[in-house]
Chains A and B, each alone.
Chain A
Amino acid sequence: GEDVEQSLFLSVREGDSSVINCTYTDSSSTYLYWYKQEPGAGLQLLTYIFSNMDMKQDQRLTVLLNKKDKHLSLRIADTQTGDSAIYFCAERSILTGGGNKLTFGTGTQLKVEL
């Protein structure tokens, strides 16, 4: 079955880059996602990458995908205190009924220090 793993914590200084890593198991995953969860809030879709891409950049966010190693990373440039949150990696599998099921990682708690 699908499984997604992430490191639990990351601490960076404001202004530095953050790199959050994720590994997944399902080689048939077509889309991989990054969600952000602020304290007490829901899951906010940050960005996603299609499996035939190696990289996707969206303003301060860069997603790198190594499909051979099933490794996904999220780089946040110029990290700000407002970036402090839990970041979830998720892989998507298509359900037989046509919907999509996400398998989430454990989440990485990003702490940004002044």
Chain B
Amino acid sequence: EPEVTQTPSHQVTQMGQEVILRCVPISNHLYFYWYRQILGQKVEFLVSFYNNEISEKSEIFDDQFSVERPDGSNFTLKIRSTKLEDSAMYFCASSLGGAAGELFFGEGSRLTVL
């Protein structure tokens, strides 16, 4: 069964460092998303991406964040200069969009900022 895969599963970084989280969405899906879950809190929407551009982003997704689909299979989330409060589980998801729009999530990348 097709699935969304994410790497790394866990990354530890120092505050101020750049981090790139990688995702391989399901191959025929058109929409790609990043969500995050701070420990003990809700899963929150960060950004959606379609046709090589951001289609919507939340207030959380500020200038420190960027997304890219560099090669037609990977979908990346970059955090330019990490802060302690960026520590969270980051989930990638993909969907066909439209009425058949179920989101399929990866297993998450846990980011720990020290």
Residues of chain A whose beta carbon lies under 8 Å from any beta carbon of chain B: 31, 33, 35, 41-45, 48, 88, 90, 92, 94-107
Residues of chain B whose beta carbon lies under 8 Å from any beta carbon of chain A: 31, 33, 35, 41-45, 48, 50, 55-56, 91, 93, 95, 97-98, 101-108
Beta-carbon contact of A41 and B102 below 8 Å: no
The 10 closest A-B pairs by CB, nearest first: A97-B55, A42-B107, A99-B31, A100-B101, A43-B105, A104-B43, A99-B48, A95-B56, A42-B105, A42-B108
On chain B, the residues within 8 Å of A33 by CB distance are: 102
Interface residue SS majority, chain B:
strand
Beta-carbon contact of A99 and B102 below 8 Å: no
Shortest CB–CB separation between residue A30 and chain B, in angstroms? 8
Query: Which of A35, A90, A99, A106 has a CB less than 8 Å from the CB of B55?
Result: A99
On chain A, the residues within 8 Å of B31 by CB distance are: 98-100
Beta-carbon contact of B101 and A92 below 8 Å: yes
Q: How far is the CA of A98 from the CA of B99 in the complex (A)?
A: 9
